[in-house]
Amino acid sequence: MTPSYKEAPHSIQVLLEDYCRQDPYGLKPSTLYSNIVGTLETNSVPITAVLFEVSESLVWMIKDHAAKNPKKTLTPVKTFPII
């Protein structure tokens, strides 16, 4: 799991909002953020930047933030059989 858009630094949020303001399809910044993070799991920074038509520097910022702030997942609870 990765950190959410709301957990991203303000500088990243501002850049995402600027890109989304120019987007003709009305993409939300939170959606763009999660799509970029998800795509980085299988693609390089330059490819991700081209796919989403954003700067490589923004993708690097998001990648660095996600790597430094992994979201903690819940630990599964052990269950015991009922006798």
**pLDDT tens digits, 24-52:** 888 899 999 999 998 888 889 999 999 99
d(CA 34, CA 3): 9
Q: Does residue 18 carry a pLDDT above 50? A: yes
pLDDT at 40: 87
How many CB atoms are located within 10 Å of the residue 15 CB? 20
pTM here? 0.78
| Neighbouring residues of 58: CB distance < 8 A, sequence distance ≥ 6 | 12, 15, 16, 19, 36, 49
